[in-house]
Amino acid sequence: MHAALPAFTNEPYADFSIPENRRAMEEALANVRGQFGRDYPLLLAGERLATPDKLVSRNPSHPDQIVGIHSKASPDLARAAVEKTHAAFPEWARTPASQRVDMLLRAASLIRQRKNEFNAWLVYEAGKTWPEAEAEVSEAIDFCEYYARQMLRYAHPQPTVQMPGESDRLVYLPLGAGVIIPPWNFALAILCGMTTAALVAGNTVIIKPSSETPTIAARFAEVLAEAGFPPRSFSLLTGSGGEVGDILVEHPKTRFISFTGSRDVGLRIVERAAKVQPGQLWIKRVIAEMGGKDAIVVDREADLDSAVTGVVQSAFGYQGQKCSACSRAIIDQAVYSEFLDKLRERVAALKVGPSEDPESYMGPVISEAQKRKIVEYIELGKREGRLVAGGALGEGNGYYVPPTVIADVDPGARIFQEEIFGPVLAVTPARDFDHALDLANNSQYGLTGAVYTDNRAKIEQARERFFVGNLYINRKCTGAMVGAHPFGGFNMSGTDSKAGGPDYLLQFLQAKSIAEKAAPTAAAPPPGAAL
């Protein structure tokens, strides 16, 4: 590791109750609002291209406001992007790792300098409240800083057993040209983490952003260019997943696909990538994070006030649109009624409104289509359980859905089993702690989970039996911190990769073992031999 690089620490969050910080955020919001409606071209390995077919991004708090207008890629441009990205790989792969690391550290510095600006874009395009935006931009900085340090670990030969008479080493090589398909719910942080991990490892990438949040992706691409990443090392390809997604995944020169999104889309990518195309030289690697149906278990020996706080924050932070969000609360029947009373009171106090309003605890959901889907699940939930809170349509012309709690839900109910991706919480009683863990594990997913209990034996039991990639004890199940909580789940939640963890870069590297036999020592001439 560079002697000059200090140990990794997480980026601190700004406190918006401090007047200076509040004013700075208000100024950033005004500045970004003045940039609404701009046109953004495609970026193809350094070439800026405008196309007649456009994608319009809107503010989900005020859908009449156009955040950005983006050129859409055609199938031919998608094929060209793969060809160009593949052609640029050898040169970028030969760039010394130390130089790639320096670029990534510069990217971290640039995002840090523009933190409130990126906060504002997230508020307007992704519907994030001020604290949620601040946490996300901080996470993007963390990914840059953390992966820069991790790449320094992998840039040198790894320790191996040395055979007698040999020099034995293990080195890591980049994979090739890959496709980055980030989600809209962490339009900067996950986009940044997936992209920078691939780039710093020496791969070239095509970024195919979500159609809901393309402006944030375009702004991030500006950071990559300013940080010194060569124009040919990355492309930004905005467009319809239906039109260009399969082409990017199936192209024989695509080496890997890094995806975060829904289970169904992820499984389609896995299936499409597995089919070998004519001329393809490798088995494509898929790194997929595909959501969850996350549960919080509350034991009879828990601090109920703390548990209610954790459930509310996990279920309704960013409108429940996190793959880590709590959508199932499993409560010991001994404290079930008391928990529901406290939960109902807390939920009633949550303010729903425009994301730019610092008093809003919840903003809008991402789109009209997502709102319709969530409302359909709420109507279903009213039939599958007992409505405790919410259930009505949100006010205003934004895509608002009030926080909704449905109790007495059967474990076989659809709202207990299916990912809703919205502010809808199913609450189910459990006979005891063993039964609660059985209910928590009754899911095709296995991303995050939490347990509230003061009983040490039950904590150890949860560590052994609660089958999730990220388990939290006596705290909320959202808010994974880079470095501290490597993030990724089991089963249908993904391919078990751990973003923000010490082995994540290995997803974008391949190992090469090199053994060199020592040259034989020249024999000494016999005594008396002629010279």
**What are the residues facing 286 on neighbouring strands?**
257
Q: E strand or H helix at 328, and its extent? A: strand 326-332
Contact 216, 55 (CB under 8 A): no
How many residues does the structure list for the chain? 531
Backbone angles phi and psi of 233, in degrees to 5:
-80, -20
Backbone angles phi and psi of 362, in degrees to 5:
-125, 140
Nearest one of 250, 107, 92 to 173, comparing CA atoms: 92
With the C-alpha atoms ordered 112, 117, 120, 121, is the resulting torsion angle positive or negative? negative
Q: Is 301 a catalytic residue?
A: no
Residue 80 identity:
A
Query: 456-465 vs 433-440: helix axis angle to the nearest 10?
Result: 30
**What are the residues facing 289 on neighbouring strands?**
260, 494
The radius of gyration computed from the CA coordinates of the chain, to the nearest angstrom, equals: 25
With the C-alpha atoms ordered 402, 407, 409, 411, is the resulting torsion angle positive or negative? positive
Q: Which of 192, 323, 326, 477 is catalytic?
A: 323
Residue 50, SS3? coil
Residue 69, SS3? strand
**Site of tokens 């597995």:** 274
Residue 56 identity:
V
C-alpha–C-alpha distance, residues 502 and 88, integer Å:
28
C-alpha–C-alpha distance, residues 483 and 469, integer Å:
15
Q: Is 289 a catalytic residue?
A: yes
CB atoms near residue 276 (< 10 Å): 12
Take residue 253 and report the two structure tokens written for it: 């020169």
**Site of tokens 């792969």:** 93
Q: E strand or H helix at 329, and its extent? A: strand 326-332
Q: Which of 132, 289, 356, 419 is catalytic?
A: 289
DSSP output for 139-158: HHHHHHHHHHHHHHHHTSPB
Long-range contacts of 4-11 (CB under 8 A, 24+ apart): 5/148, 5/149, 5/152, 8/142, 8/145, 8/146, 8/149, 8/483, 10/138, 10/142, 10/481, 10/482, 10/483, 10/484, 11/112, 11/138, 11/139, 11/141, 11/142, 11/145
Q: E strand or H helix at 259, and its extent? A: strand 256-260
C-alpha–C-alpha distance, residues 221 and 68, integer Å:
15
Q: Known catalytic residues? A: 289, 323
